Structure 1
Amino acid sequence: MEKNQQIENNFTYHAPKDGQPAKYEAIRAKAKELAYLIDELCPSSREKSLAFTNLEQAIFWSNAAIARNE
C-alpha cells in the first residue's frame, strides 16, 4: 500500500526546531490576553465556555501548523 504523506506527517511526532518554541509561546501569550478579556467581559455561560474551548483549539491548530509545516 502506498503511504499517504499527509497522514504520515499528521500522525508523526514533530520535535521542536530552532525558533519554534518562541512562536508557540507568542501564540499562547496573545491567546491568554484574549482569554482574560473574555473572562472579564462575558457572563458565565455555555457560550463563554465555548469561547474558551475554541480559543484553546485555535492555539492547538496554530501550533500544529508550525510543527507540521516548517
Structure 2
Amino acid sequence: MPKVGEHLNPVIENNFMYHAPKDGQPEKYEVIREKAKELAYLIEEECPNSREKSVAMTNLETAVMWANASIARN
C-alpha cells in the first residue's frame, strides 16, 4: 500500500478490486461463454490431441476470462 501522502494508482485499484455485476453484465458473460464453448467443441472435434490443442484450449479459457474482466472493469 502507498505510504501516507502518496497517491493511489487508479488502474491498480480498479484491476484488483471486486466488481459486483451491474445490470446486463451477467447476460454478456453468458454470451461470451456460450460462443467460446462452441469454439471449444470445434477445436475438440477437429484438432488432434496434442500440446498445441491443449494450448489452444487454455488460451480460449484465458480469452473468456479477459473478455469478462473487460466487462466487469469498464
Mark yes or no: TM-score above 0.5. yes
The counterpart of 1:46, out of the listed 39, 43, 51, is 51
The counterpart of 2:24, out of the listed 19, 35, 39, is 19
**Partner letter of residue 43 of structure 1?**
P
How far apart are the structure 2 equivalents of 1:16 and 1:7? 19
SS of alignment partner, residue 7 of structure 2: coil
Aligned-pair identity (%): 72
Q: Which of the pair has the greater relative contact order for Cα pairs under 8 Å at 6+ separation? A: 1
Aligned residues: 69
How far apart are the structure 1 equivalents of 2:22 and 2:57? 28
How far apart are the structure 1 equivalents of 2:37 and 2:71? 19
Q: Give the C-alpha shift of residue 54 in structure 1.
A: 0.2
How far apart are the structure 2 equivalents of 1:18 and 1:52? 30
Q: Does 1:55 align with 2:64?
A: no
Q: Where does structure 1 lack aligned partners over 5 or more consecutive residues?
A: none
**Partner letter of residue 4 of structure 1?**
N
Larger radius of gyration: 2
How far apart are the structure 2 equivalents of 1:18 and 1:2? 31
Q: Between Structure 1 and Structure 2, which shows a larger proportion of helix residues? A: 1
CA RMSD of aligned residues (A): 0.3
How far apart are the structure 1 equivalents of 2:64 and 2:41? 15
